[in-house]
């Protein structure tokens, strides 16, 4: 029967390494508690109650094309004799302690992964209250100091493309620890930077290293969980990482009361040191040696090309990136829209910003605790995207004056609904995409993260394209991105076709 969507750590007694060369695919499928994938396709089975089986794109390690090229048996053959399973038991036995440890320390692992995903927004948003002070301290133009934010953001986007494939080849722990050590060093140097140019350079390095936490946290979730449990875990991570943008500016402002802007980087250095020690002590390796890729850069590029060739994976990736662009547009425009156009005070804006973040977190928890497992992930995702489109359309009509002069309250209500619906869109696009990529979770996580950052970085500057007297560009960008996300979901993912195949027994 199909995978129930439970934790993969709960199945570590299976005498197989999962994708080791000696394992017969039929035996692997039986051991995983799932039927072999039809038509010789390999890949994860969607545990979504109403979602179909999904298949890995051909040509990737662990797929039929890859096995054929390497002389390994294709999927769908009969199970190997019991002796073959015994031969596979040794690698599984080595991986079992790590998986058992991950299960025993589930809450701690959740907090560690949440901390890793929260570190990038902390690095970005704690620094925001200090921008004027940095400009004065380093005697640099404001535009130059703004590049310190751009450099960190670009580093986080590009670093994921490097760290993701590294984690598929060498496991999760070593690249993550290396990234955290480099992050600590780069952040400490930022605190000592004597010039704006040096600060920009090490903010770029800080972003590149900090990307390890984002990409490997998602890959670890994919290593440990399948199906609806993975979607639930992503919703839990949103509770932790979603709080970071709320508290980060407050922490930065409080730090500035006792020290200068350099103290913010000292605090971030301390946070990095603590996270590094916690990862070293308690986050065990989750990718068994038998599941790792052995190739170099060439294989990493081929893996990513194969992932992008998978139409459904690409659909979820782009839909998630466009939803993230709606969020970026809100972050970039809301201070100006709320305060300059609709007259909110800085205190009122902070309150509204916090309420919107709480809405996103709360709906994310509703998604993980109540909706996932009762409804298909595609249905929940479709509902979330539909609400985002409707909220963005309402905002556009309000900013165009279709309803006459509107005040702060209706606009704030529209933004609250839009932001809350992100709690249904973002975790489910990640879960659905990663369910197809058991064979290359690190590379897939890198593509998901990089596409989100790049699409968001392209969309966010467009909110100010018409000047400072109108909020129409923000609403237009949000509506266009939301409609495009729905289009990618429908055209590329085609959830009704996959649901039909499952209903027909294909």
Secondary structure (DSSP) of 362-392: HHHHHIIIIIBTTB-HHHHHHHHHHHHHHHH
Query: CA-to-CA distance for 457 and 467, rounded, in angstroms?
Result: 19
| DSSP summary character for residue 79 | P
pTM of the model: 0.65
pLDDT tens digit sequence for 228-247: 788 788 877 777 766 776 67
Q: Cα–Cα distance between 270 and 445 in angstroms, integer? A: 27
**CA dist., res. 169 & res. 216, Å (int):** 12
Q: Which residues contact 177 (CB under 8 A, 6 or more apart)?
A: 276, 279, 280
304 Cβ contact partners less than 8 Å away, ≥ 6 residues apart: 161, 165, 443, 446, 447
Asked which of 43-57, 140-154, 372-386 is least confident by mean pLDDT, the reply is: 43-57
**CA 121 – CA 242 distance, rounded (Å):** 9
What pLDDT score was predicted for residue 334?
Answer: 80
pLDDT (0 to 100) of residue 266: 94
Q: Give the pLDDT mean for 466-471.
A: 70
Structure tokens given for 51: 């979602």
Mean pLDDT of all residues belonging to the chain: 75
Q: What angle do CA 287, 291, 293 make, to 5 degrees?
A: 105
pLDDT tens column, 305-332: 888 889 999 999 999 999 988 988 887 7
pLDDT at 328: 81
Torsion-angle region of 75 (φ positive above 0: left; ψ -120 to 50: alpha; else: beta): beta
Closest CA to 429 of 331, 320, 281, 312: 320
**What does the pLDDT read at residue 416?**
95
Cα 137 to Cα 191: distance, rounded to the nearest angstrom: 12
Q: Per mean pLDDT, which of 49-63, 244-258, 295-309, 406-420 is the most reliable?
A: 406-420
Residue 331 CA to residue 249 CA, distance in Å, equals 13
Q: Identify the three-state secondary structure at position 7.
A: strand
| 37 vs 395, residue with greater confidence | 395
Q: Find the range with the poorest average confidence among 25-34, 157-166, 389-398, 465-474.
A: 25-34
Nearest C-alpha neighbor of 234 from the set 380, 352, 122, 95: 380
The total of other beta-carbon atoms located within 10 Å of residue 78's CB is: 11
**SS3 of residue 123 by DSSP:** helix
Residues 425-438, mean pLDDT to the nearest whole number: 85
pLDDT of residue 468: 61
- pLDDT of 104 above 70: no
pLDDT in tens, 72-103: 333 333 344 334 334 434 444 444 454 544 44
What's the Cα-to-Cα distance from 118 to each of 3, 18, 210, 217, 469, rounded to whole Å? 31, 31, 10, 11, 34
pLDDT at residue 297 in the model: 63
Predicted pLDDT at 418: 95
Q: Which of 90-99, 270-279, 390-399 has the lowest mean pLDDT?
A: 90-99
Lowest mean pLDDT among 192-196, 409-413, 440-444: 440-444
């Amino acid at each position: 029967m199909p995978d129930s969507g439970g934790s993969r750590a709960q199945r570590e007694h299976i005498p197989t390494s999962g994708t080791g060369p000696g394992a017969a695919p039929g035996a692997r499928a039986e051991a995983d508690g799932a039927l072999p994938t039809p038509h010789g396709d390999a890949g994860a089975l969607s545990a979504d109650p109403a979602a179909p089986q999904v298949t890995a794109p051909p040509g990737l390690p662990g797929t039929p094309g890859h096995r054929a090229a390497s002389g390994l048996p294709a999927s769908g053959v009969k199970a190997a004799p019991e002796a073959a399973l015994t031969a596979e038991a040794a690698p599984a036995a080595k991986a079992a302690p790590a998986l058992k440890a991950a299960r025993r320390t589930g809450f701690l692992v959740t907090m560690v992964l949440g901390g890793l995903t929260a570190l990038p927004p902390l690095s970005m948003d704690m620094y925001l209250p200090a921008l004027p002070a940095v400009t004065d301290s380093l005697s640099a133009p404001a535009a130059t100091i703004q590049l310190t934010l751009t450099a960190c953001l670009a580093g986080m986007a590009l670093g994921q493309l490097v760290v993701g494939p590294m984690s598929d080849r060498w496991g999760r722990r070593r690249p993550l620890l290396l990234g955290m050590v480099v992050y600590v060093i780069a952040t400490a140097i930022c605190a000592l930077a004597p010039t704006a140019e040096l600060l920009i350079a090490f903010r770029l390095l800080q972003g590149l290293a900090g990307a390890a936490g984002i990409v490997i946290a998602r890959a670890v979730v994919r290593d440990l969980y399948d199906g609806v449990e993975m979607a639930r875990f992503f919703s839990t991570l949103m509770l932790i990482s979603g709080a970071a943008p709320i508290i980060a500016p407050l922490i930065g402002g409080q730090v500035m009361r006792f020290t200068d802007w350099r103290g913010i980087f000292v605090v971030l250095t301390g946070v990095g040191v603590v996270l590094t020690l916690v990862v070293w002590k308690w986050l065990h390796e989750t990718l068994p040696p038998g599941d790792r890729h052995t190739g170099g850069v060439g294989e990493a590029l081929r893996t990513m090309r194969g992932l992008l060739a998978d139409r459904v994976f690409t659909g979820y990736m782009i839909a998630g990136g466009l939803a993230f662009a709606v969020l970026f547009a809100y972050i970039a425009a809301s201070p100006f829209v709320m305060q300059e156009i609709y007259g909110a005070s800085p205190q009122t804006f902070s309150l509204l910003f916090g309420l919107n973040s709480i809405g996103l977190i709360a709906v994310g928890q509703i998604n993980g605790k109540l909706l996932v497992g009762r409804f298909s992930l595609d249905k929940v995702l479709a509902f979330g995207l539909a609400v985002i489109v409707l909220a963005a359309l309402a905002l556009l009509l309000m900013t165009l004056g279709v309803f006459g002069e509107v005040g702060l309250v209706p606009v704030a209500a529209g933004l609250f609904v839009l932001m809350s619906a992100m709690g249904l869109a973002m975790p489910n696009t990640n879960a659905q995409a990663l369910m197809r990529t058991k064979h290359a979770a690190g590379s897939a996580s890198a593509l998901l993260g990089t596409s989100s950052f790049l699409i968001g970085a392209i969309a966010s500057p467009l909110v100010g394209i018409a000047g400072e007297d109108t909020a129409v560009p923000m609403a237009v960008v949000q509506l266009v991105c939301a409609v495009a996300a729905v289009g990618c979901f429908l055209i590329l993912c085609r959830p009704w076709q996959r649901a039909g195949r499952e209903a027909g027994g294909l």
